[in-house]
Amino acid sequence: MRTVIKNAHLLDATKDYGTADLYIKNGLIEGSNLSGSVDETIDASGLTLCPAFIDLHAHLREPGQEVKEDLATGLAAAAAGGFGSVVSMANTKPTVDEAGIVADLVAKAAKIGQARLFPSASLSHGLKGETLTDFAALKKAGAVMITDDGIPVQDSHLMRRACEYARELDLIIQTHSEDPSLRQSGVMNEGLVSQRLGLPGNPISAEAIMIFRDCEIAAMTGARVHIAHVSSQRGMQVIEWFKAQGYGNITAEVTPHHLTLADSVFESFDSIYKVAPPLRTAADVAYLREVIAKGVVDSIGTDHAPHTQAEKDQDLLQAPFGIPNIEVTFPLLYTDLVEKGYLSLSKLIELLTVGPAKVMKWDAPTLEAGKAADLVLLDLKGEKTVNPKMFKSKAKFSPWSGQSLKGWPVKTFVAGKQVFSV
């Protein structure tokens, strides 16, 4: 199968190729401005073509929570958002803590044929933080990451042993860095807004303290540790301090919601904004925007967390944590950050492609010949309103519902196969 995508603006994190025709053959990029017969021609005039995005942090809810999301809907939502590869989280029911569960997920995703699935597996059995899972067996079955995301690892000794085990297998550990004893039952950021609203707060110190511990253990063991969903200035400054000392084994991600929403949104008492870690202050948002432009942050992870409408309709004390966002991540960040001058387009693409690939030690996605034809066509000029009812995800709600955004994916390809088209 040979396809040509004609008249596209070709752009990756390393190079602006200008307007050209990109040829795809047998799942790989063949080259640009070639000739010869093709099986398919796609006119991409006025559109931008770049490598498909990589998400290292998505909750796809399968097995056991398919009422919220399943592999078919989650991977379709990822493709609709321009993502060609997704690392799924392990905090399902049952937990992804056995090799057989990992193997089943890999096999099922392959049959679905949407975005590529790379399962994570849990650090501890049942996410209980008591005993380590069999990392070696989990890796052999297809797990690419170890994480108890959703629940912090409280036992520092267990975290140390996990890091030592992961280092021997060259596996990466992703953290959920919040001190539970400080977080307590906080439903939003602890600060002036929570005090005024009378809501239990989750202090920034809970994040900063646990990030320091996790980074210190990473420094002690030499393990690759990825600090997930950093939400605050102080938390990020801890990571900056360790990186400045040369600990290249420590990486960090931020999320779309922590880059675009502040705790003032809770004035509405709407539980749609309830996430963990919580939305912080406007000053924290501004700081995170500054550091992603400076190269401190390694990747943007969506932390796509679908729930049922009934669950999120509960009050702020009862509703679950999480925002579904994988389908709006790029247009949201393009509109709020690139269009407003906070971030260059090439840097945003880097944070969604080359950055996460480096974190995982994967081949860096570019548009060069011989690379996998995992691609996304973007409409950077046209505007479209966020309409959650049209989401591929089962979660038909969004904090950005009704907002007009630019940069929507038009087509997504995985190994040269079109897996999404408007």
Residue 157, phi then psi, degrees to nearest 5: -65, -40
Element (H, E) at 119: strand 116-121
Residue 194, phi then psi, degrees to nearest 5: -65, -35
CA–CA distances in Å: residue 241 to residues 3, 96, 152, 211: 47, 33, 22, 11
Residue 270 is a catalytic residue: no
What are the residues whose beta carbons fall under 8 Å from the beta carbon of 241, sequence distance 6 or more? none
Region at 31 (left for phi over 0; alpha for psi -120 to 50; beta for the rest): left
CA–CA distances in Å: residue 366 to residues 11, 191, 271, 351, 372: 8, 43, 39, 13, 9
- Give the residue among 162, 184, 295 at the shortest CA–CA distance from 239: 295
> Across the strands, what pairs with 421?
411
SS3 content of the chain, % helix, strand, coil (to 5): 35, 25, 40
Positive or negative: CA dihedral 30, 35, 36, 42: positive
DSSP conformation letters of 293-358: HHT---EE---B----HHHHTS-TTTSPS-B--TTTHHHHHIIIIITTTSS-HHHHHHHHTHHHHH
Lookup: tokens for 64 = 């056991």
- Contact (Cβ atoms closer than 8 angstroms) between residue 275 and residue 303: yes
Among the listed residues 21, 55, 214, 303, the single catalytic one is 303
- Contact (Cβ atoms closer than 8 angstroms) between residue 325 and residue 304: yes
The Cα 96–Cα 119 span in angstroms is: 9
| Catalytic positions, written as ranges | 303
